[in-house]
């Protein structure tokens, strides 16, 4: 068996960072607290001032319940074009630990302003009492740039 992973280079780091910066949403994977099995959902995404991915979620959602029980999470970003084989389009997996930034957290107000500037449509729900932020502290990344172009990434590789 040949190792399909290539050595990480600056082009891979740049592509991974671009995918993260461009993402307005992501697939989020969490551990289902009832079964221990993976559970996927779609969440809004943006990067905070330091380039760390954040999401604005509702405490009523299944993924919020799951992350309260187990903060281990994974994100997938990088959406295929309408045409062509979707598996040739680059995508980035992030494995991260989810940290809650509640509405009464001192960091909430600044993050709210930053997020609202990036995602103006969120004004429809950002001030609802059940919405709060999750910051995804990156543990590792995995970039798939298309068939045979896979790279492992450290948190440092993903720094902006």
- The window from 14-22, 99-107, 108-116, 140-148 that contacts its own copies (CB under 8 A) reads 140-148
All residues at 6 or more sequence positions from 120 whose CB lies less than 8 Å from its CB, including other chains: none
Q: Shortest gap between Cβ of 36 and its own copies (angstroms)?
A: 7
Rounded Cα distance between 149 and 16, Å, is 12
User: Which residues are bridge partners to 95 per DSSP?
Assistant: 74, 140
Q: Which of residues 14-53 bind its own copies (CB under 8 A)?
A: 24-25, 27, 29-32, 35-44
Task: Give the count of residues interacting with its own copies (CB under 8 A).
Answer: 44
Exactly one of 21, 85, 113, 127 binds its own copies (CB under 8 A); which one? 85
Burial of 138 (0-12, 13-18, 19+ CB in 10 A): buried
Exactly one of 6, 8, 72, 118 binds its own copies (CB under 8 A); which one? 72
């Amino acid at each position: 068996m040949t190792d399909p992973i290539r050595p990480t280079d600056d082009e891979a780091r740049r592509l991974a960072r671009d995918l993260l910066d461009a993402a307005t949403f992501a697939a989020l994977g969490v551990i289902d607290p009832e079964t221990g099995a993976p559970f996927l959902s779609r969440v809004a995404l943006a990067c905070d001032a330091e380039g760390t991915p954040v999401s604005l979620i509702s405490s009523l959602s299944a993924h919020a319940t799951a992350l309260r029980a187990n903060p281990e999470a994974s994100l997938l970003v990088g959406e295929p074009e309408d045409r062509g084989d979707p598996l040739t389009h680059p995508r980035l997996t992030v494995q991260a630990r989810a940290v809650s930034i509640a509405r009464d957290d001192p960091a909430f107000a600044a993050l709210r302003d930053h997020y609202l500037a990036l995602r103006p449509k969120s004004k429809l729900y950002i001030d609802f009492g059940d919405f709060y932020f999750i910051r995804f502290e990156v543990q590792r990344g995995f970039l798939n740039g298309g068939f045979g172009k896979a790279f492992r990434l450290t948190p440092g590789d993903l720094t902006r």
